[in-house]
Structure 1
């Protein structure tokens, strides 16, 4: 019985993930690329991201024996769309943006990042200026008199958007647009610096950006006060186009898993230490690491439907039942992954 239920859940979850739709919407690759393009999401300014990632792409180029180009875009959607049209073949994403890439861009998770100590996770934060003695917890920002300016992350960001949208706002029945004077979307670096310079009163951020700022912009970092911390978020996934050849995907995966474990280990460790707040070795992963993020997105949608006064009780019950079914299927997948 369990096996039948598990098999049914896999079939339903596959439909849930939009695989059928993705196969119709992303542009298939005709063959493996002659040059590999590695996409990098816009968590910071492009110049800062280049400093972190170009040494890594150069090492990848040397190991694979082919040209590796780094692709930067002004927002997360730019990398997702570039992968959808075959312009990006491998990419670093957060979990939310990886979920979008899997569903829309023919992507597949194959490894995930870790920290130097081997831990695999990070946290979303809500921050304010350290001198702001009127804001010390979430209840202090929920007066909702439209006196505060709030900085939220890119809509495809896990820690900057999805996690705070669910845990901070949806669970407290607060609509940010009805609560704050302004709500501004920006990357993690911009939100941190805007908070440090009192350009916004409160902002979403994460432990990695705060850690990196302590290393690279300590004067700004010391002006930040954390007023809320999320549950642990899975470490960032690395994805590649699933329609690359098996041989080519094996070469790419072997490079990531071998980086810092074989060859010039000291050089690799130095390169990884320069990424974000200091990365460790890559760990094997798969699309299963996105299951908790899918659950989070569904819970958020369920809360939105339940609070929608424009829906009839019958429509609301039907939509909630559909989401509950998807959540039940995902719960089985999470249990047996």
Structure 2
């Protein structure tokens, strides 16, 4: 399978033209509609009061494409993840009886914009950007990876080099600490919300340097380019499993309670029959013995989620950081 870039507009425009037309009609029909919408963009309504965009009532506005576009959250090496996701892509094609294309995305904002414009139908959005996708792109979170007993999530961990001389959070004062990007939960927003209670205020007690990704933050700590870095536990665990760094070179000085991990979403204007098949594909996929199962160690299945409930802690953290679900705030990454 070839991985295409979501920023390459030519193949996407060709493949997803059928979804762009319903979206254009949706924009004209709902953009100025007087309806409940909460934090949702003016393109969407929330008559159901569940904090996600309602499906269009007019069937002519529903998208039912022959080719589905799927994208996973931005990663350091998209080509690797194209292969890792192949078993699931095959399963998704079989269940939906549609062609499925995997697209590599370069940034969270590009991924959100792709779904907003109708060029992306199914997507895994990182924890922090998920509310942006919901409010700006009409994404509907319905699943995340978990275990057979329903457990899921990751922690915020603060790593430093084993020889840094940093042993606790107070030792970060005066240091150079890598955050990932402004919209990242564990890489920026959660530290800004949680660290003050630990006696450390980012940008005041230590210098914040944005690395661009959890991978780069971790590799920077190993190389001693940064004194420390808050990162997502699941990311560094996968990096260690691939041998990208030596675990003996680093140490953890802080770990938070668990947060929800990457959300899996469908575009709100997909035909309900197609949505049913997409959900069936996710919830029937067997991770055992697949490249996806090997990459996400400890994950055994996709489990159903409710955005209003499961992302409450994330919205609280973002509110504490005065985050607004606007394209301007998203573009800050």
- TM-score interval, normalised by the smaller of the two chains: 0.7 to 0.9
Say which of 192, 195, 202 aligns to 1:168. Answer: 195
> C-alpha distance in 2, partners of 1:206/1:173?
19
- Aligned equivalent of 1:297: 318
After TM superposition, the structure 1 = structure 2 runs for residues 49-60 of structure 1, keeping only pairs within 5 Å, are: 49-60=81-92
Instruction: Write out aligned runs for 1:234-253 (5 A).
Output: 234-253=260-279
Q: Structure 2: how far apart are the matches of 1:243 and 1:170?
A: 42
Aligned to 1:185: 211
Does structure 2 retain, via aligned residues, the 8 Å contact 1:116–1:278?
no
Change (3 A) 1:54 1:151: farther
Deviations 1:46-85 (A, max 9, x none): 2332242233223322332221111222221111111111
- Structure 1 stretches lacking a partner, 5+ long: 1-13, 303-337
Asked if residue 194 in structure 1 is aligned to residue 220 in structure 2, the reply is yes
- When you count helix as a share of all residues, which structure comes out higher? 1
Q: Which residue of 2 is the match for residue 92 of structure 1?
A: 124
- 1:155 aligned partner: 182
Q: Indicate yes or no: 2:60 matched with 1:40.
A: no
In the alignment, what sits opposite 2:136? Answer: 104
Change in CA separation of 1:180 and 1:56 when aligned onto 2, cut-off 3 Å: same
TM-score (norm 1): 0.73
RMSD of Structure 2 on Structure 1 (CA)? 2.6
Gaps of 5+ in 2: 1-35, 46-52, 324-333
The 3 A distance-change label for structure 1 pair 227 and 43 is farther
Match of 2:110 in 1: 78
2:169, 2:198 within 8 Å by CA — same for their partners in 1? no
Count of residue pairs the alignment pairs up: 274
- The aligned counterpart of 1:328 is none
For residues 237-261 of structure 1, the C-alpha deviation after alignment (integer angstroms, 9 at most, x for no partner) is 211111101101000001101112x
Residue 224 (structure 1) aligns with: 250
Report how far residue 150 of structure 1 moved: 1.9
- Find the counterpart in structure 1 of residue 146 from structure 2: 114
Q: Deviations over 1:15-44 (max 9, x none)?
A: 44x2253429x9x96621221111211143
More strand by share: 2
Q: Give how far 1:137 is off.
A: 1.2
- Counterpart contact for 1:214–1:222, Cα < 8 Å: no
Q: How far is 1:182 from its partner?
A: 5.4
2:40 paired residue number: 19
Alpha carbons of structure 1 residues 19 and 202: separation in structure 2 relative to 1, 3 Å: same
**1-side partners of 2:149 and 2:187: how far apart?**
24
2:301 aligned counterpart, secondary structure: coil
Query: Deviation of residue 117 (structure 1)?
Result: 6.6
CA gap 1:136/1:102 in 2 versus in 1, 3 angstroms: same
How far apart in 1 are the matches of 2:73 and 2:108?
5
TM-superposed CA distance for 1:121, in Å, is 1.6
Q: Quote how far apart the aligned CAs of 1:293 are.
A: 1.2
Equivalent residues of 1:155, 1:185 under 8 A apart = no
Once residues 48 and 131 of structure 1 are traced to their aligned partners in structure 2, the CA distance between those partners, rounded to angstroms, is 32
Counterpart position of 1:140: 171
| TM-score, length basis structure 2 | 0.74
Distance 1:115 1:149 in 2: 36
> Aligned partners of 1:15, 1:53: CA distance in 2, in Å?
34
Q: Secondary structure at the match of 1:167?
A: helix
Q: Separation in 2 of the partners of 1:256 and 1:115?
A: 14
